[in-house]
C-alpha cells in the first residue's frame, strides 16, 4: 500500500511541481497517473522511489514512512518497488540475461535457483531467444521488456512505470501494457505514469489525473479525460 | 544461508571488478600507465634524494675539527675534555691521537719524509683530538669553546670552507628535498586521483542504474574499489620493476664514474622502495576509487 499525505515538492522559487497531493494506492491496485508534461507525474514517481525528497508531507510504502528513511535503508525500499523507466536504464555492458540476473544479485537471491528464475522472467516477457544479446542490439520494445523482466525477477510487491510506452510504437506499447496487466494479475500493485490517451481510455482502470501539481480527478474505471 | 549469499555476493563483486577492467581495457591500461609513470618519477626522485642525503652524511663523517693539545697539558684534564666533547649530542666521535701516534702516522703516510724525524731526533708533533660531528651545525660553536681553553688547547683547526659549504648544501638539500617530495607527491596523487575520477565518471550512468534498482552502496562501490586496488597494484608493480632494474643497471655505472658518491644500490633500499611503492599504489587506487564513486552515490 502506498499512502501520499499532503506532499509538496518545489524546485526553487517558482510554482511547486506538486502542491499538497494526497492519495492512497491499495495492494493489487492498477492505477494510471495521467496529465500533460510538467503536471508532476514523474516527480511523484521519483518521490515514491525516494529518488528525490518531498519539500513537505509524508509518503508511506508498506506502512513505512519513507521520508524518514536513512541513506542505508533506501536500498531495502527500492527492492520492494520495481521501477520501469521510459529510457529503460539497462546496464549497457551486460547481456539481457545478465541485466535480469543483476537485479537478483542485488537482493542477494542469486542462488542455485537464480538461473532458472532469470529464464522464467525472460520467458514471461518473450525474450528467451535474445538472452545473450546486448541492449544496443535490441529494439526499444525489446529493451523495455528486458527492464520489465528485471523488475519481475525479484517479485517486488509494487511496480512503478514512468512513461513505459513513451519511446515505443503503438503496437509495442500495447504489448508492454499487457505485460503490466499480467504482472498485476499475480497480485502486484502497479502504478503507471503515462500520457498515452488511447491506452488509458481502452483499459478503463483507476485514473489519477494531475494538472499543474494538483490532483484534479481520481476515478475508478475512468478514461484519460474522464 | 545468509553467509552463503554473502559469499556469493563477494565473489560476484570480485568478478565484476575484473570484468569491468577487461571491458574498459583502454581506460585500465591508461590508468596503469599513469600510475606507473608517476610512481617511477617519484621513486627516482626519492632515490636521488636519498643519495644526496648519504653524500652529505659521508662528507660529515670525515674529521671536521682538529684540536692540538698543549704538550704540558695535564693528562687527567685532557681525558675530561675528551669526555666532555664526546658527550655532546652533535658529536659523533672524538679520537685522541697521542704524540707518538701522530709521529707514526706521519711515518706511514709520508714515508719518504720519515728520515726527517730521524734527523731531528725529538718528536715535533703535538697530541691532538680529532672530532667528527654528527650534526655539522655544532662545529663552529664547538671550535669557539675549545679556543677558550688555551691551557689545554694550543690551536683549533676547522675545515671552515668545507664545513660552511657542507652546512649550506645540507640545509638546502634537506629543505629543497622535503619541499620537492611533498609537491611531487601531491602532483602524483592528483594525477592518479584524476585518472580514477575520469574512469568512474565514464560509468556514472551504470552507478545510477544500480542505485535505482536497489543496490546497496557497497554493492556498487565494491567492484570499483577492488578495481582501483588492482590497477594501483599493477601500476606500482611495474614502477617497482622499472626502479629495481634501473638501479641494477645504472647504479654500478654511476658509482664507477663518480667514485666519491655513495650511491645507494643496496638491496635493502630498493626493496623498501618497491614495497613502499606497492603500498602507495594499492592505497591510492582503492581510496581514490572509493571517493570517486561516493560522489555519484550521494547524488
Half-sphere exposure of A192 (CA within 13 A, CB side): 31
Q: Chain A residues with CB inside 8 Å of B210's CB?
A: 91, 102, 106
- pLDDT band at residue B24 under the 50/70/90 scheme: confident
In this predicted model, what pLDDT tens digit does every residue of B271-281 receive, in sequence order? Answer: 888 888 899 88
**CA-based nearest residue in chain B for residue A111:** B5
Q: Chain A residues with CB inside 8 Å of B208's CB?
A: 89
Q: Chain B residues with CB inside 8 Å of A150's CB?
A: 213
Query: Residue B146: how many CB atoms within 10 A of its CB?
Result: 21
Considering only residues B185 and A9, tell me which one the structure prediction assigns the higher pLDDT.
A9
Residues written for chain A: 226
B12/A107 touch (CB, cutoff 8 Å), yes or no: no
A110/B8 touch (CB, cutoff 8 Å), yes or no: yes
pTM: 0.70
- pLDDT band at residue B261 under the 50/70/90 scheme: low
Q: Is B106 exposed, middle or buried (0-12, 13-18, 19+ CB in 10 A)?
A: middle
Where are the domains positioned within chain A?
Answer: 2-219
B213/A49 touch (CB, cutoff 8 Å), yes or no: no
Q: Can you tell me the distance from the alpha carbon of B120 to that of A215, in angstroms, rounded to the nearest whole number?
A: 123
Using alpha carbons, select from B16, B289, B21, B6 the residue that is nearest to residue A102: B16
B171 backbone dihedrals φ, ψ, rounded to 5°: -60, -45
Q: Can you tell me the distance from the alpha carbon of B202 to that of B188, in angstroms, rounded to the nearest whole number?
A: 22
**CA-based nearest residue in chain B for residue A46:** B212
- pLDDT band at residue B25 under the 50/70/90 scheme: confident
- Residue A226: its pLDDT value, please? 66
- pLDDT band at residue A198 under the 50/70/90 scheme: confident
A92/B206 touch (CB, cutoff 8 Å), yes or no: yes
Q: Can you tell me the distance from the alpha carbon of A8 to that of A23, in angstroms, rounded to the nearest whole number?
A: 13
- Residue B63: its pLDDT value, please? 65
Interface test with A, best of B213, B220, B299 (most A CBs within 10 A): B213
Distance from CA of A155 to the nearest CA of B (A): 13
Distance from CA of B262 to the nearest CA of A (A): 55
Of the candidates A72, A79, A85, which has its C-beta nearest B214's C-beta? A79
| Chain Cα centroid distance, residue B73 | 45
In this predicted model, what pLDDT tens digit does every residue of A62-109 receive, in sequence order? Answer: 999 999 999 889 988 988 999 898 888 999 888 999 999 988 888 877
A89/B212 touch (CB, cutoff 8 Å), yes or no: yes
**CA-based nearest residue in chain B for residue A87:** B209
From first CA to last CA, the distance across chain B in angstroms is 33
List beta partners, residue B93.
B132
Q: Chain A residues with CB inside 8 Å of B5's CB?
A: 108-109, 111
pLDDT at B186 over 80: yes
User: Is the torsion defined by CA of B28, B30, B35, B36 positive or negative?
Assistant: positive
In this predicted model, what pLDDT tens digit does every residue of B81-120 receive, in sequence order? Answer: 888 888 888 888 888 888 888 888 877 777 777 777 777 7
- Hey, what's the cell of B71? 704538550
- Residues of A near B (CB-CB distance < 8 A)? 49, 51, 71-72, 75-79, 82-83, 85, 89-93, 102-103, 105-111, 150
Range in A81-95, A141-155, B6-20, B132-146 with the lowest mean pLDDT: B132-146
A76/B4 touch (CB, cutoff 8 Å), yes or no: no
Contact (Cβ atoms closer than 8 angstroms) between residue A158 and residue A187: no
Q: Chain B residues with CB inside 8 Å of A72's CB?
A: 216-217
List beta partners, residue B129.
B67, B96
Q: Which residue has the cell 544496443?
A: A136
pLDDT at B233 over 90: yes
pLDDT at A125 over 60: yes
Average pLDDT of chain B, as a whole number:
81
- Hey, what's the cell of B257? 664514474
Q: Chain B residues with CB inside 8 Å of A89's CB?
A: 208-209, 212-213
pLDDT at B121 over 80: no
A5 backbone dihedrals φ, ψ, rounded to 5°: -120, 110
A91/B216 touch (CB, cutoff 8 Å), yes or no: no
Give all domains of chain B, ordered by start, each with its CATH number.
8-59+167-297 (no CATH), 65-158 (3.30.70.3040)
B214/A107 touch (CB, cutoff 8 Å), yes or no: yes
- Residue B162: its pLDDT value, please? 65
DSSP B159: -
Q: Using DSSP bridges, classify how beta strands A206-211 and A30-34 pair: parallel, antiparallel or unpaired.
A: parallel
Of the candidates A85, A91, A103, which has its C-beta nearest B206's C-beta? A91
A108/B5 touch (CB, cutoff 8 Å), yes or no: yes
Top-ranked range on mean pLDDT: pick from A5-14, B122-131, B269-278: A5-14
* Average pLDDT of the residues in A180-207: 90
- Residue A181: its pLDDT value, please? 92
Considering only residues A209 and B75, tell me which one the structure prediction assigns the higher pLDDT.
A209
CATH superfamily of A2-219: P-loop containing nucleotide triphosphate hydrolases (3.40.50.300)
List beta partners, residue A190.
A30, A159
Provide ipTM, 2 decimals.
0.82
Amino acid at each position: 500500500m502506498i499512502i501520499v499525505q499532503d506532499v509538496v515538492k518545489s524546485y526553487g522559487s517558482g510554482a511547486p511541481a506538486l502542491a499538497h497531493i494526497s492519495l492512497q494506492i491499495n495492494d493489487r491496485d492498477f492505477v494510471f497517473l495521467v496529465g500533460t508534461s510538467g503536471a508532476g507525474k514523474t516527480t511523484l514517481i521519483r518521490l515514491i522511489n525516494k529518488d528525490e525528497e518531498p519539500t513537505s508531507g509524508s509518503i508511506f510504502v508498506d506502512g513505512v514512512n519513507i521520508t524518514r528513511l536513512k541513506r542505508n535503508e533506501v536500498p531495502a525500499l527500492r527492492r520492494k518497488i520495481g521501477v520501469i523507466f521510459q529510457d529503460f536504464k539497462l546496464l549497457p555492458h551486460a547481456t539481457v540475461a545478465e541485466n535480469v540476473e543483476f537485479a537478483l544479485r542485488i537482493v542477494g537471491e542469486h542462488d542455485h535457483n537464480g538461473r532458472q528464475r532469470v529464464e522464467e522472467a525472460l520467458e514471461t516477457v518473450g525474450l528467451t531467444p535474445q538472452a545473450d544479446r546486448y541492449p544496443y542490439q535490441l529494439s526499444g520494445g525489446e529493451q523495455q521488456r528486458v527492464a520489465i523482466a528485471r523488475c519481475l525477477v525479484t517479485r517486488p510487491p509494487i511496480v512503478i512505470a514512468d512513461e513505459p510506452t513513451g519511446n515505443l510504437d503503438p503496437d509495442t506499447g500495447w504489448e508492454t501494457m499487457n505485460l503490466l496487466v499480467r504482472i498485476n494479475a499475480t497480485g502486484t500493485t502497479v502504478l503507471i505514469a503515462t500520457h498515452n490517451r488511447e491506452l488509458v481510455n481502452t483499459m478503463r482502470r483507476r485514473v489519477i489525473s494531475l494538472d499543474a501539481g494538483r490532483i484534479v480527478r481520481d476515478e475508478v474505471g475512468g478514461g484519460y479525460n474522464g | 544461508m545468509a553467509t552463503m549469499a554473502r559469499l556469493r555476493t563477494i565473489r560476484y563483486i570480485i568478478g565484476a571488478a575484473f570484468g569491468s577492467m577487461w571491458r574498459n581495457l583502454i581506460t585500465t591500461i591508461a590508468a596503469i600507465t599513469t600510475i606507473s609513470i608517476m610512481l617511477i618519477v617519484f621513486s627516482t626522485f626519492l632515490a636521488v634524494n636519498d643519495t644526496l642525503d648519504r653524500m652529505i652524511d659521508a662528507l660529515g663523517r670525515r674529521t671536521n675539527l682538529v684540536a692540538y693539545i698543549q704538550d704540558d697539558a695535564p693528562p687527567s684534564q685532557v681525558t675530561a675534555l675528551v669526555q666532555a666533547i664526546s658527550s655532546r649530542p652533535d658529536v659523533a666521535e672524538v679520537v685522541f691521537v697521542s704524540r707518538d701516534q701522530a709521529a707514526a702516522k706521519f711515518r706511514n703516510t709520508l714515508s719518504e719524509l720519515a728520515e726527517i724525524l730521524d734527523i731531528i731526533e725529538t718528536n715535533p708533533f703535538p697530541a691532538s683530538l680529532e672530532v667528527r660531528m654528527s650534526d655539522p651545525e655544532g662545529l663552529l660553536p664547538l671550535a669557539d669553546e675549545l679556543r677558550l681553553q688555551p691551557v689545554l688547547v694550543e690551536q683549533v683547526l676547522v675545515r671552515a670552507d668545507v664545513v660552511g659549504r657542507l652546512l649550506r648544501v645540507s640545509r638546502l638539500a634537506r629543505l629543497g628535498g622535503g619541499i620537492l617530495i611533498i609537491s611531487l607527491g601531491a602532483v602524483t596523487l592528483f594525477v592518479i586521483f584524476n585518472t580514477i575520477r575520469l574512469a568512474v565518471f565514464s560509468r556514472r550512468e551504470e552507478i545510477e542504474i544500480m542505485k535505482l534498482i536497489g543496490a546497496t552502496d557497497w554493492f556498487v562501490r565494491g567492484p570499483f574499489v577492488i578495481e582501483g586496488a588492482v590497477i594501483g597494484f599493477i601500476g606500482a608493480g611495474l614502477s617497482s620493476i622499472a626502479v629495481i632494474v634501473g638501479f641494477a643497471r645504472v647504479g654500478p655505472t654511476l658509482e664507477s664514474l663518480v667514485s666519491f658518491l655513495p650511491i645507494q644500490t643496496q638491496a635493502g633500499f630498493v626493496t623498501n622502495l618497491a614495497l613502499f611503492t606497492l603500498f602507495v599504489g594499492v592505497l591510492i587506487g582503492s581510496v581514490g576509487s572509493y571517493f570517486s564513486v561516493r560522489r555519484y552515490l550521494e547524488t
